[in-house]
Structure 1
Amino acid sequence: MTLEFSSLEWIVIVTMFGAAFVQGVTGFAFAMVSMGVLSGVTSVQLAAPLVALAALTNHTAQCLYYRRAFDRIIVAQLLLGAVLGIPFGLLALRFLPETWMLIALGSVILAYSLYSLVGPRGGQLLKSKRWIYGAGFLSGALNGSYNLPGPPVVVYASSQNWPQERFKGNLISFFWVNAVLVVIGHSLDDRFSVQIIHQFLLAIPGILLGQFLGVSLSKHLNPPMFQKITAVILAITGVRIITLGL
């Protein structure tokens, strides 16, 4: 007996593998890659709950790997802001027109990718507590609507000059809790259809394999260079989504 997948299912499987691989190497960008592709071939409303389930699976495995590398106080402060921001994101997903959401999602991805390419490396340290709570709030809002908690927190983390292990540990821990909250939010909104659950189950092996390969290769590759390559891909994806919205 052979398994036959539709073209959409193949896109989901390959996209989740690629997103998990990128996250394994860089410590972030799972949602940006997967949402960037899937929202363009389906819709934001269908892609968001699917990516939420996939992100939770990916982040759970990575949390176990980096369980000793994160700072509990920093993660708790980021989460406090995120908890306040997630409801705003869920409301946006319910009430805002999809055209607006596609343009906003593409703009977020494009803006972050450009920052990654031309932004300062090891720049000024953001010391005020307002920055960490503000980054958490914006991440929560983006997570609730687009499953994109990364950009504000990654920008903040990049300003702190943390060692690579601490950088990844803090981000993954933060992303994991956000993923749990967003999955709960989508559950309350009854967004997990049979189709979405089916696509998620198909994607699990690719997620785990992509993550394993990414984490393994991150020990041998130059992460800053890989982040620049990822940023170029995300920039192209962001422009494509904005075009779809327009």
Structure 2
Amino acid sequence: MDIEINVFLIIGIFIVLAAGFVQGLTSFGFALVTMPFLVKMIPLQEVVPIVVILSLCTNIIVLLNSWQHVAIRKIWILILSSLLAAPLGTFLLVYLSADLLKGFTGIVIIAFAGLLLSGKSFPIRNDKIAFIPIGMTSGLLNGSISLSGPPVALFLSNQGYSKNEFRANITVYGVILNMITIGTFFYSGLLTPKVMMYTSLFVPSVLIGVFIGIIAIKRLDDQLFKKLTLWLIILSGVWTILGSLKLV
């Protein structure tokens, strides 16, 4: 048993380090990198709290690095819309298959990200109002299949946000969502001593990864950053489709 734990910790440290780098660089994608690997070594009910807590750590650091670019007068609408719609996401599963919802969402994400990569965009003049449906979509997906990030990331990319504005605003959203989720974990008894032990052991590597990512982002211009984030979104869409087909 001790050998299994040690193997998990060694592999987990490198995975979390890589995920921290991705998060520090793009401000999302932490769960995309960590979940597929960690869930194969320990139960899902332990992996999810670990990933969310570590994601909160990365988001706080990125937010401190980019706070001056937060458009709080716009972003609060996104956050409120998402929080109001999240509970409704669970009802989607009553009427729709989770796999069907994942497959459809993955296809839409890939298609829209592909259009943006090809140079096409559909800018909306009043993005403050547009944050309402985007937030609701994100909240519905978070409450049903835990896929809140791509809709927001796609919208910010479509609107032509600079890399600093993109990172700052999506991170504020992530911090609040993480904190609320952790609160539900605490209430549900998922923050067990084992979960907290693993989390604490992974903190140093995730911090190193985030700081490397923050340093690396300075070398990317806005166009290269946009391409990188869109490819990451496409990857999340592909992974979602594979998951719906039970291939991962």
Matches within 5 A, 1:44-59: 44-59=44-59
Moved more, 123-132 or 66-75: 123-132
> In the TM superposition, what is the alpha-carbon distance from 1:173 to its structure 2 partner?
1.1
Give the aligned partner of residue 226 of structure 1.
228
> In the TM superposition, what is the alpha-carbon distance from 1:223 to its structure 2 partner?
1.9
Matches within 5 A, 1:206-225: 206-221=205-220, 222-225=224-227
Moved more, 21-30 or 57-66: 21-30
> In the TM superposition, what is the alpha-carbon distance from 1:77 to its structure 2 partner?
0.5
Give the aligned partner of residue 72 of structure 1.
72
> In the TM superposition, what is the alpha-carbon distance from 1:195 to its structure 2 partner?
2.4
- Which residue of 107, 110, 113 corresponds with 1:116? 113
Matches within 5 A, 1:192-211: 192-211=191-210
> In the TM superposition, what is the alpha-carbon distance from 1:152 to its structure 2 partner?
1.2
Q: How many residues align?
A: 239
CA distance in 2, matches of 1:115, 1:41: 33
Unaligned runs of 5+ in 2: none
- Please tell me whether the aligned partners of residues 122 and 158 of structure 2 are also in contact (alpha carbons under 8 angstroms): yes
Q: Residues 213 and 71 (structure 1 numbering): CA distance in 2 closer, same or farther, change over 3 Å?
A: same
> In the TM superposition, what is the alpha-carbon distance from 1:126 to its structure 2 partner?
2.5
Per-residue displacement from partner, 1:121-167 (whole Å, max 9, x unpaired)?
A: 46121346663112212323444455532111112212211222111
Give the aligned partner of residue 162 of structure 2.
163
- Please tell me whether the aligned partners of residues 105 and 237 of structure 2 are also in contact (alpha carbons under 8 angstroms): no
- Please tell me whether the aligned partners of residues 52 and 147 of structure 1 are also in contact (alpha carbons under 8 angstroms): no
RMSD over aligned CA atoms reads 3.2
Q: Residues 86 and 202 (structure 1 numbering): CA distance in 2 closer, same or farther, change over 3 Å?
A: farther
Secondary structure of the corresponding residue to residue 164 of structure 2: helix
CA distance in 2, matches of 1:153, 1:176: 14
Unaligned runs of 5+ in 1: none
Q: Residues 227 and 83 (structure 1 numbering): CA distance in 2 closer, same or farther, change over 3 Å?
A: closer
CA distance in 2, matches of 1:5, 1:183: 24
Matches within 5 A, 1:106-185: 108=105, 111-113=108-110, 115-119=112-116, 121=119, 123-127=121-125, 131-144=130-143, 147-185=146-184
- Please tell me whether the aligned partners of residues 32 and 109 of structure 1 are also in contact (alpha carbons under 8 angstroms): no
Give the aligned partner of residue 22 of structure 2.
22
> In the TM superposition, what is the alpha-carbon distance from 1:113 to its structure 2 partner?
4.7
- Please tell me whether the aligned partners of residues 83 and 139 of structure 2 are also in contact (alpha carbons under 8 angstroms): yes
CA distance in 2, matches of 1:190, 1:107: 33
Q: Is the counterpart of residue 244 in structure 1 residue 246 in structure 2?
A: yes
CA distance in 1, matches of 2:153, 2:129: 16
Q: Percent identity?
A: 21
CA distance in 2, matches of 1:122, 1:38: 36
Find runs of 4+ consecutive structure 1 residues off by over 6 angstroms.
none
Q: Residues 31 and 107 (structure 1 numbering): CA distance in 2 closer, same or farther, change over 3 Å?
A: farther
- Please tell me whether the aligned partners of residues 44 and 101 of structure 1 are also in contact (alpha carbons under 8 angstroms): no
Q: Which amino acid aligns with 1:116?
A: A
> In the TM superposition, what is the alpha-carbon distance from 1:70 to its structure 2 partner?
0.7
- Please tell me whether the aligned partners of residues 35 and 147 of structure 1 are also in contact (alpha carbons under 8 angstroms): no
TM norm structure 2: 0.79
Secondary structure of the corresponding residue to residue 219 of structure 2: coil
Q: Residues 162 and 88 (structure 1 numbering): CA distance in 2 closer, same or farther, change over 3 Å?
A: same
> In the TM superposition, what is the alpha-carbon distance from 1:104 to its structure 2 partner?
5.1
> In the TM superposition, what is the alpha-carbon distance from 1:190 to its structure 2 partner?
1.7
TM norm structure 1: 0.79
